[in-house]
C-alpha cells in the first residue's frame, strides 16, 4: 500500500466554474465569484464583512495592520503554532509573547494568558487547533477587561463551533485557509472576517493596495487614490470560482470527513484504553469539524518509532509544529519561560493520513498497522 498524508479532492464542478469566471471577462480580484463566496460565509456563519485573500497568511497580515500593531507592541500567541500566526504580527514590529498549550490539548491555555498581559499588550491571537475551539468566553472576557484585540487563526476551523457560535465569528478578526491541506480548498487561498464594523472600511482599502478602488467602482468617489497602506491581498476571481465549487459541496465533504474521523477513533480507542497513547480530546464547548486526526504518543521515541514503522508500510503520517519559542528565528527573542506542553505536543503528536478520498480499506490498513506496532 502507498497511502499519502493528503490528497486534494475536487468536486468535479471546478472546471465549469473556472470557465464561467473566464467567460465573464472579469478574472482579476473582487469579481462576482469573490462576492458569491464572501456572501456564502457571511450568511452561513454570521461573520461580519469578509474578504477573500490569497492565503490565511495574507488574512493574518491584514488583521495585524487593522489591529494597528506597531513597533514595541506585545502580542500573545501560542508557541505551538504555525509560523504565519506569529510572523504576521512580527512584520508590523510586534514582540510575540509566546504562551503554552493546555496539558491535554494543543490549544492555548486560556487560564495562563492573564499573567502574560502587560501595558504593552495589544492583541491575543488564538489557533483553533484541529478545528477545535479555544475557550473563547474566557479569552473574550480578558480582551474586554484589558482592551485587547482578539484574532482567531481559524485556518483549520471552517464549519466548526464554540457553544453553537461559528468559529471565526467571535474575535474582532478571524483568518481562514483554503490551502490544499484544509477541508475546503482552492490550492492557495484564505479569508479574513472583520467582525468589528469599525474596521470594515479600512479593511477594504488595505485589501486593494491602500487605495479606495472599491469605493470608486461603486461610484462613491470620483477618482481612486492612494489613501492608506495596503497590499495586493485579494485573489483572482478564478481562485474564487474554484472555491465556490468547493463551497457548494461543503456539507457533503464534511459528512465524509466526519465518518473518516470516527472510523479512526473507533479503531484506535481500545489502544488508548490499554494506555499506549492518547486520542484527541474535544472539550464539551467545542464541535469537531474533522479537520485532522492525531494521536499523542507517550514519548518522543515512541512517536518517532511509530512514524518510521508506518512509513515502512507505505503510510505517510506526519508531525508538527516545532514550537516557535525554540525556532531559529525566535529562540533568542523569547523571554526564557519554559513552555513544556508545547514541547510535548511537538515531540509526541502524530497526524494520520486524512483526506476525502481515503478508502475504508486504506483506513483499516492504517489502523491495523498501528495495532501491530503496539502488539
Ligand atoms: C494552514 C495554516 C495557516 C496558513 O494558511 P495559508 O493559507 O497556507 O497561509 C495558518 N495557521 C494555521 C493554524 C494553519 O493550519
Neighbours of 15 (CB within 10 A): 12
- DSSP bridge pairs for 174: 152, 193
Residues 153 and 299 in one domain: no
C-alpha cell at position 55: 492565503
Is the pTM for the entire model greater than 0.85?
yes
127 in contact with ligand 1, CB cutoff 6 A: yes
Q: Which is the closest atom of ligand 1 to the Cα of 177?
A: 7
Helix axes 32-45, 14-24, angle to 10 degrees: 130
* Residue 228 pLDDT: 98
Domain that holds residue 234: 14-247
Q: Do 239 and 257 lie in a common domain?
A: no
pLDDT score recorded for residue 339: 98
Q: Confirm if 102 and 341 have CB atoms less than 8 A apart.
A: yes
Are 227 and 255 found together in one domain?
no
Q: What's the DSSP call for residue 202?
A: H
List of residues 6+ apart from 139 with CB closer than 8 A: 108, 110, 113, 124, 126, 150
Average pLDDT score over the chain: 97
Rounded Cα–Cα distance for residues 162 and 139 (Å): 12
pLDDT digits (tens, 9 = 90+) for 157-184: 999 999 999 999 999 999 999 999 999 9
Angle at 220 between CA 218 and CA 225, to 5 degrees: 95
pLDDT digits (tens, 9 = 90+) for 190-242: 999 999 999 999 999 999 999 999 999 899 999 999 999 999 999 999 999 99
Please tell me the predicted confidence (pLDDT) of residue 90.
98
CA of 142 to the centre of ligand 1 (A): 25
pLDDT in tens, 65-75: 999 999 999 99
pLDDT at residue 144, as a whole number: 98
Same-domain check for residues 154 and 82: yes
92: confidence class by pLDDT, cuts 50, 70, 90? very high
Looking at residue 185, which CATH number applies to its domain?
3.40.640.10
**What is the share, in percent, of the chain residues with pLDDT greater than 70?**
100
Q: Name the band, by pLDDT with cuts 50, 70 and 90, for residue 154.
A: very high
- Where is the domain boundary, 219, 247, 275? 247
Number of domains in the chain: 2
Task: Tell how far CA 365 is from the center of its chain.
Answer: 29
Paired strand residues for 151: 125, 173
CB of 190 within 6 A of ligand 1: the answer is yes
The confidence score (pLDDT) of residue 67 equals 98
Nearest CA to ligand 1 atom 6: 56
Residue for grid cell 499523542: 296
pLDDT at 307: 98
Same domain, 28 and 61: yes
Q: Is the CB of 53 under 6 A from ligand 1?
A: no
Residue appearing with cell numbers 495589544: 122
- What is the atom index within ligand 1 of the atom nearest the CA of 84? 10
Amino acid at each position: 500500500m502507498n497511502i499519502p498524508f493528503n490528497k486534494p479532492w475536487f468536486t468535479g464542478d471546478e472546471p465549469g466554474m473556472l470557465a464561467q469566471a473566464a467567460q465573464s471577462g472579469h478574472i482579476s480580484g473582487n469579481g462576482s465569484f469573490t462576492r458569491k463566496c464572501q456572501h456564502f460565509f457571511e450568511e452561513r456563519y454570521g461573520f461580519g464583512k469578509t474578504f477573500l485573500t490569497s492565503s490565511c497568511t495574507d488574512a493574518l497580515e491584514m488583521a495585524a495592520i487593522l489591529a494597528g500593531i506597531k513597533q514595541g507592541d506585545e502580542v500573545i500567541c501560542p508557541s505551538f503554532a504555525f509560523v504565519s500566526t506569529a510572523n504576521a504580527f512580527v512584520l508590523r514590529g510586534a514582540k510575540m509573547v509566546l504562551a503554552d498549550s493546555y496539558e491535554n490539548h494543543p490549544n492555548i491555555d486560556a487560564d495562563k494568558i492573564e499573567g502574560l498581559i502587560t501595558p504593552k499588550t495589544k492583541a491575543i491571537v488564538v489557533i483553533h487547533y484541529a478545528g477545535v475551539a479555544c475557550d473563547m468566553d474566557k479569552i473574550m472576557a480578558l480582551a474586554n477587561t484589558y482592551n485587547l484585540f482578539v484574532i482567531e487563526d481559524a485556518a483549520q476551523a471552517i464549519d466548526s463551533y464554540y457553544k453553537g457560535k461559528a468559529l471565526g465569528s467571535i474575535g474582532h478578526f478571524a483568518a481562514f485557509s483554503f490551502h490544499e491541506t484544509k477541508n475546503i480548498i482552492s490550492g492557495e487561498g484564505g479569508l479574513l472576517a472583520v467582525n468589528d464594523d469599525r474596521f470594515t472600511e479600512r479593511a477594504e482599502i488595505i485589501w486593494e493596495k491602500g487605495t479606495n478602488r472599491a469605493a470608486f467602482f461603486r461610484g462613491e468617489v470620483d477618482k481612486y487614490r492612494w489613501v492608506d497602506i495596503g497590499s495586493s491581498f485579494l485573489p483572482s476571481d478564478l481562485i474564487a470560482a474554484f472555491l465556490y465549487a468547493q463551497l457548494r459541496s461543503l456539507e457533503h465533504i464534511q459528512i465524509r470527513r466526519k465518518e473518516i474521523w470516527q472510523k479512526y477513533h473507533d479503531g484506535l480507542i481500545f489502544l488508548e484504553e490499554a494506555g499506549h497513547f492518547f486520542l484527541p480530546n474535544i472539550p464539551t464547548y467545542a464541535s469537531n469539524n474533522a479537520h485532522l486526526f492525531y494521536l499523542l504518543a507517550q514519548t518522543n521515541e515512541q512517536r518517532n518509532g511509530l512514524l518510521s514503522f508506518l512509513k515502512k508500510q507505505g503510510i505517510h503520517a506526519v508531525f508538527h509544529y516545532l514550537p516557535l519559542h525554540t525556532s531559529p528565528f525566535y529562540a533568542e527573542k523569547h523571554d526564557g519561560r519554559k513552555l513544556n506542553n508545547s514541547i510535548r505536543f511537538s515531540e509526541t503528536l502524530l497526524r494520520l493520513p486524512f483526506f476525502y478520498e481515503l478508502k475504508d480499506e486504506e483506513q483499516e490498513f492504517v489502523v491495523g498497522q498501528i495495532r501491530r506496532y503496539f502488539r
